[in-house]
């Protein structure tokens, strides 16, 4: 499998510049917190499928905030994951786990 190349993803417009990212990152964090709270609430009701979906979106919005801080925006969920790895994991800012 070919490794992710951030410059190529930007060139192919899979990751796009987003200068307003740092301004809207706090909104993404707030959304992530709300989704995480929802996940906990519905899990307490025994609704594991809904809890899983809410938890996924909590992770998505928190990750998106990290990308926004770097002034980029994703075109898909998988590109977001690849960009997070390139911008944070590969640079030792976040653990692989």
Q: What is the pLDDT of residue 1?
A: 42
Is the pLDDT score of 2 beyond 80?
no
User: What is the tens place of the pLDDT at every residue in 13-53?
Assistant: 999 999 999 999 999 999 999 999 999 999 999 999 999 99
Is the pLDDT score of 83 beyond 90?
yes
Residue 97 lies inside a defined structural domain of this protein: no
Residue 94 lies inside a defined structural domain of this protein: no
Domain interval for residue 84: 6-89
Domain count, the chain: 1
State the DSSP string of 37-97: HHHHHHHHTT-HHHHHHHHHHHHHHHHHHHHHHTTEEESSHHHHHHHHIIIIITTTSS---
Residue 23 lies inside a defined structural domain of this protein: yes
Q: What is the pLDDT of residue 5?
A: 87
Q: Would the pTM count as exceeding 0.85? A: yes
Residue 57 lies inside a defined structural domain of this protein: yes
């Amino acid at each position: 499998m070919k490794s992710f190349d951030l410059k190529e993803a930007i060139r192919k417009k899979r990751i796009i510049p987003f200068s307003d990212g740092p301004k809207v990152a706090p909104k993404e964090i707030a959304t992530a917190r709300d989704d995480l709270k929802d996940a906990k609430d519905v899990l307490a009701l025994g609704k594991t499928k809904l809890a899983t979906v809410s938890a996924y979106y909590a992770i998505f919005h928190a990750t998106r905030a990290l990308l926004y801080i770097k002034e980029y925006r994703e075109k898909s969920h998988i590109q977001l994951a690849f960009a997070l790895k390139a911008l944070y994991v590969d640079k030792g800012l976040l653990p692989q786990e």
